[in-house]
Amino acid sequence: MFLRNAWYVAAEGREVGRTLLHRRLLDEPVLLYRGEDGAPVALADRCCHRHAPLSKGLLEGDRVRCGYHGFLYEPSGVCVEIPDRDRIPPGARVRSYPVCEREDWIWIWMGDPARADASLVPTYYTNRPGRWKSVPGYLPVASSYLLLVDNLLDLSHVSFVHANTIGSRDDKNPELVWDRGDRWVRGTRTVRGMAPSPRQMQDGADFPIDQTKIMTYTAPADVFIDIWTREASVPAGQAMRHDTTQLILDFLTPETATTAHYFWSNVRNYKLDDDAYSTYVDRLMVRAFEEDRAMLEAQQANSDPRLPMIDVVGDSGSLQARRLLDRLIAEEQRLASAAA
């Protein structure tokens, strides 16, 4: 059971073009492409005739033609041509999903199209003061998207899972407080005087640092982490040898109940034009998220829903996030039942 009236990331913008991209989202087959003007299109990837995937067909201008018997569809999902002079029956159409491109991603709305409000698609760095460099990435993960949300809201894993990449073994015993709103949960996590991670050393910080991470979960599937890293123990008002901000954007779109698409970007406010550094960041993040993937897939395979889990204080954020999402799904279901 997924929350449907919500924006999910369907793809990186750079993945979608004038070839047909199939992607399973919320357990539905979706076709993604761009029209001749570059605008993204998302259709149900299942011909209304005999259920062949449209992604095995061909683009004709803004339209897509099924590769099996040649049904031709508009971006609206309406079938406008059936070969051999066949009349087009009423109902010959596929679902068209509202889509919206923001920053590095194409977002999709898989619920009631009437409720899709493009103004609610978030932007994370382009409307933020200052200059920013975004390094996006993608991995498919054989675990529920919820395990990815848990992962990102309990950063105590970083010093264990990522000790050799983005974590510091010293990243422990934080000050950590949570607050929340109607559709979000936020944690503010500070660790002072810790040893730098491999990346921070690469950045020149070969001395103790203070780090504050603000993790914001927004239902159903976004986790935004704002990381402020600075030289430790520098009195207010005095110059620091290190002071950087990284934004880690994580979009965790369900593929099925037990698999997910992990989209991310590592956004920074320094070394903006240093391409070699961007390549370093790209590879580092892939390596780090491969570490998460290995753990999450093992966890998914090893989980036994009949057995209890022990909750500790560190789970506070993810437990609140789960409750929030459960409430939103229950409300949506109630609404749908009432409407029917």
Binding site for a copy of itself (CB under 8 A): 29, 45-46, 48-53, 56, 65-70, 79, 82-87, 89, 91-92, 150, 154, 156-157, 159-161, 172-174, 176, 294-295, 298-299, 302-304, 307-315
Which residue bears the tokens 């050799």?
A: 164
Closest CA to 122 of 40, 255, 217: 217
Nearer to a copy of itself, 130 or 308 (CB): 308
Rounded to whole angstroms, the Cα distance separating 225 from 246 reads 8
Helix axes 145-153, 316-339, angle to 10 degrees: 140
Compute the least distance from the CB of residue 17 to a copy of itself, in Å. Answer: 21
232 Ramachandran zone, left/alpha/beta (phi>0; psi -120 to 50)? beta
Compute the least distance from the CB of residue 92 to a copy of itself, in Å. Answer: 5
Q: Tokens at residue 185, please?
A: 């949960």
Nearer to a copy of itself, 89 or 204 (CB): 89
Closest CA to 115 of 338, 334, 332: 332
Compute the least distance from the CB of residue 194 to a copy of itself, in Å. Answer: 13
CA dihedral (248, 267, 194, 202) positive or negative: positive
> Residue type at 29?
P
Nearer to a copy of itself, 118 or 294 (CB): 294
Compute the least distance from the CB of residue 264 to a copy of itself, in Å. Answer: 19
Nearer to a copy of itself, 206 or 311 (CB): 311
Nearer to a copy of itself, 177 or 294 (CB): 294
Rounded to whole angstroms, the Cα distance separating 182 from 17 reads 36
Compute the least distance from the CB of residue 107 to a copy of itself, in Å. Answer: 24
Rounded to whole angstroms, the Cα distance separating 46 from 56 reads 10
Rounded to whole angstroms, the Cα distance separating 151 from 252 reads 11
Write out the H or E segment, with its range, that includes residue 148: helix 145-153
Compute the least distance from the CB of residue 246 to a copy of itself, in Å. Answer: 22
Nearer to a copy of itself, 85 or 273 (CB): 85
Nearer to a copy of itself, 247 or 325 (CB): 325
Instruction: Give 245-310 as a DSSP string.
Output: EEEEEEEEEEEETTEEEEEEEEEESSSTT-HHHHHHHHHHHHHHHHHHHHHHHHHHHH--TTS---
Nearer to a copy of itself, 65 or 242 (CB): 65
Compute the least distance from the CB of residue 89 to a copy of itself, in Å. Answer: 6
